[in-house]
Amino acid sequence: MQTTGIVRKLDELGRITIPQNLKKRLNIDSGDRLEVFLLPDGVAFKKFSSLGENAMARKCCSELKKTINKICFITDKDGILVTGNGGHDDEKSLKNVSIIQDVIKTGNRYNGLDADKTEWITIIPLGVRGCVAGVFMTVHGKKEDISIHKMLEYTAAIIGSNITETELRKGNS
């Protein structure tokens, strides 16, 4: 764990203030929910996203991995929440962050080479009624046939249809 050198005093209600530079660096805004983790020697905070708790999203990623043996991710604005193999692969998300952010901002899907121009990726926005909460991303390695792309679109539609209004509000806080 990296130290910041910042020490804060708890106020009378047990609250602390997160410095502005840390909030900016961690993409935390006023009103965002933080998840609290108990560590052996303290606590840690992480920006919370209910999209990662969506059971349908987890099931779809897992089944897609089994069915077509492709890496898939569900991300919100801040990073990977669910992967097809149950783990995390932040490297793929980080190298494609500008493409992911563009898909979230515009609501338009992306089907092409990744940022390094080495693997074929498909990124489809997730949301309802024009409100994008995150993206569904798959890594193919090479350009796939149209049937794979249709399957990915249907999977994204299923996940998107199971995103609740509450998850959209939380995802866009």
pLDDT at 86: 47
pLDDT at 42: 87
Lowest mean pLDDT segment, chosen from 52-66, 97-111, 153-167: 153-167
Q: pLDDT digits over 22-37, tens only?
A: 888 777 888 877 888 8
pLDDT at 96: 78
Q: Which residues contact 24 (CB under 8 A, 6 or more apart)?
A: none
Classify 34 as helix, strand or coil: strand
Question: Is the pLDDT confidence value at 173 over 50?
Answer: no
Q: What confidence tier does 157 reach under pLDDT thresholds 50, 70, 90?
A: confident
**Contact in structure between 100 and 75 (CB atoms under 8 Å):** yes
Identify residue 153 by its one-letter amino acid code: E
Q: What is the pTM of this model?
A: 0.62
Q: What CATH number corresponds to the domain at position 129?
A: 3.30.450.40
Domain range enclosing 1:
1-48
Q: Residue 83: enclosing H or E segment and its boundaries?
A: strand 80-83
Based on the domain organization, do 90 and 157 belong to the same domain? yes
**Contact in structure between 26 and 32 (CB atoms under 8 Å):** no
Identify residue 126 by its one-letter amino acid code: L
Based on the domain organization, do 166 and 134 belong to the same domain? yes
Based on the domain organization, do 67 and 102 belong to the same domain? yes
